[in-house]
């Protein structure tokens, strides 16, 4: 009798696990579908095209801001020939904030995305397309760089209209790390009254698992951070700035 009761208990537990597994499966499916926009099949190529352009332009933006120390366009900030910003200039710390870098990436994407879209010329035979890129929002998050578009697109065909507007990518690149390493270097340099401590800078590099190269350029020094743990297009990410 006890043996049969034990067998019944095992079957009850198995049944509960099966029901729980089915419930979990449908819960995950519903959560996933709520995060992924539902795109009508006939306009999926247009949606994919915009997503691909956003990814291409976003990567180009990250390359540019890496080469120029967080900037797409350097306006009033002290810089070397308008290309490499000074993070330390006559004792002042000028490392850009996270918010400024986000705004610079957004500025690049908003200006350059149209060169990839090309007014949807590849789809003009199929649709009458109206579109207006209103805003680009970039966020540096723990998992990477999130870029989203406020970009309403209306496709008209055969007296019917379909609207698209939900475009977003996440590029797995930790720019917060490059900003923090740069800030540590800048603060160390400012704290040294006579020159700067090269061994201290190499310690910062070692502690953050990056390589820091320095190149004297007259009264200035160019710093180049190479981060093998941060890759873009299968290349180690580079971040440059200068001090004077």
Give the model confidence (pLDDT) of 118-135 as tens digits.
999 999 999 999 999 999
Predicted confidence band at 21 (pLDDT cuts at 50, 70, 90)?
low
Q: Residues 162, 43: contact at Cβ < 8 Å?
A: yes
For residue 66, the surrounding DSSP H or E stretch is: helix 44-67
- The candidate with the shortest Cα–Cα distance to 53, out of 101, 134, 109, 125, is 109
Q: Which phi and psi angles does 168 have, rounded to 5°? A: -160, 140
CATH architecture assignment, domain 175-243: 2-Layer Sandwich (3.30)
Query: pLDDT tens, 157-215?
Result: 888 899 999 899 999 999 999 999 999 999 999 998 777 889 999 999 999 999 999 99
Domain with CATH 3.30.1300 in the chain: 175-243
Tell me the C-alpha distance between 142 and 131, whole Å.
32
Torsion angle, alpha carbons of 231, 118, 73, 217, to 10: 60
What is the Rg, in whole angstroms, of the alpha carbon atoms belonging to the chain?
26
| pLDDT at residue 158 in the model | 85
- What does the buried/exposed string (b/e) look like for 84-94 if buried means 16 or more CB atoms within 10 Å of the residue's CB? bbbbbbeeeeb
SS3 of 147, please?
strand
Least confident piece of the model among 9-13, 75-79, 97-101, 181-185: 9-13
Q: Which phi and psi angles does 12 have, rounded to 5°? A: -65, -45
- pTM (2 d.p.): 0.82
Of 96 and 36, which is predicted with more confidence? 96
Residues across the chain: 244
Inter-axis angle of helices 175-191 and 44-67, nearest 10: 10
């Amino acid at each position: 009798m006890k043996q049969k009761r034990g067998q019944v208990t095992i079957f009850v537990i198995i049944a509960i696990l099966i029901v729980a597994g089915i419930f979990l499966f449908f819960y995950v499916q519903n959560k996933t579908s709520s995060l992924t926009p539902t795109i009508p099949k006939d306009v999926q190529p247009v949606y994919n095209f915009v997503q691909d352009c956003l990814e291409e332009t976003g990567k180009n933006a990250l390359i540019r801001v890496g080469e120029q120390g967080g900037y797409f366009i350097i306006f009033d900030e002290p810089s070397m020939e308008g290309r490499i910003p000074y993070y330390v200039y006559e004792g002042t710390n000028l490392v850009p904030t996270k918010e400024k870098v986000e705004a610079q990436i957004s500025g690049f994407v908003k200006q350059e995305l149209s060169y990839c879209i090309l007014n949807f010329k590849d789809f003009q035979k199929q649709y009458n397309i109206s579109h207006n890129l209103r805003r680009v929002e970039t966020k540096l998050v723990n998992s990477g760089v999130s870029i989203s578009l406020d970009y309403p697109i209306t496709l008209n065909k055969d007296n019917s209209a379909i609207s698209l507007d939900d475009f977003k990518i996440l590029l797995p690149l930790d720019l917060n790390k490059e900003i923090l390493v740069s800030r540590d270097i800048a603060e160390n340099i400012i704290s040294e009254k006579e020159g700067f401590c090269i061994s201290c800078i190499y310690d910062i590099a070692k502690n953050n698992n990056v390589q820091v190269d320095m190149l004297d350029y007259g009264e200035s020094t160019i710093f180049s951070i190479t981060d093998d743990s941060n890759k873009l297009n299968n290349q180690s990410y580079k971040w440059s700035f200068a001090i004077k």
